[in-house]
Amino acid sequence: VSQSEKRNRAITARRQHLKSVMLQIAATELEKEEGRREAEKQNYLAEHCPPLHIPGSMSEVQELCKQLHAKIDAAEEEKYDMEVRVQKSSKELEDMNQKLFDLRGKFKRPPLRRVRMSADAMLKALLGSKHKVCMDLRANLKQVKKEDTEKERDLRDVGDWRKNIEEKSGMEGRKKMFESES
């Protein structure tokens, strides 16, 4: 076993030891935190919720119920007020974020899924049972007969331009030109 291997083993062992010591310290800190939380809870309960002693007479029980109902009402009002405050602040936060995006020029795009759907299926999904029309677009087209225009006929009749030039060259070509013009 070489010197560097021994050193690596020692370093690894030291790391493992330090790690275990850190874990032990963290575990004790967690236990202390848990005890502190429990003590805070007990103090809060002792302060806000005194022990309940049930009176013997009916009138005293009714008075206790009225007090408890009043406390419940107060707690509910406080809860409602806090919920309204939270909703208001979250709305303000949303508005601020939107203004921030607008100022930056970056808009938040929702993640979209690509869906392959025919036009018929899309209309059926949008319109529900009202959809009766078939979206075969070519079936609804009217047949149009294409009429030959004079220009197209001339181009078709002319054919290859080389042949046309050869025909018109010389005296015979000029004779034909004069005959066709009259």
Q: Record the pTM.
A: 0.33
What percentage of the chain reaches a pLDDT higher than 70?
A: 70
How confident is the model at residue 167, as a pLDDT? 62
Cβ atoms within 10 Å, residue 116? 5
State whether the Cα torsion 121-122-123-129 is positive or negative: positive
* Interval 34-62 mean pLDDT: 88
Question: Element (H or E) spanning 95, and its range?
Answer: helix 58-104
CA distance 29 to 36: 10
For residue 23, being part of any structural domain is answered with yes
For residue 174, being part of any structural domain is answered with no
Last residue of a domain, one of 106, 141, 174: 106
Asked if residue 168 lies in contact with residue 176, where contact means CB atoms within 8 angstroms, the answer is yes
Is residue 163 pLDDT above 80, yes or no? Answer: no
Number of domains the chain contains: 2
Is the same domain home to 63 and 102?
Answer: yes
Is the same domain home to 37 and 64?
Answer: no
Give me the amino acid identity at 69.
H
CA distance 68 to 52: 11
Asked if residue 175 lies in contact with residue 169, where contact means CB atoms within 8 angstroms, the answer is no
- Residue 71 sits in which domain range? 59-106
Mean pLDDT is highest, among 81-85, 130-134, 135-139, for 81-85
Going by the DSSP 8-state scheme, the letter that residue 105 receives in this structure is: T
Which residues does 26 contact at the CB level (< 8 Å), separation at least 6? Answer: none
Scan for tokens 């493992």, then name that residue: 16
Of the two residues 16 and 178, the one the predictor is more confident about is: 16
Of the two residues 165 and 182, the one the predictor is more confident about is: 165
Is the same domain home to 12 and 45?
Answer: yes
* Interval 87-111 mean pLDDT: 84
Mean per-residue pLDDT over the chain, rounded: 80
Is the same domain home to 65 and 86?
Answer: yes
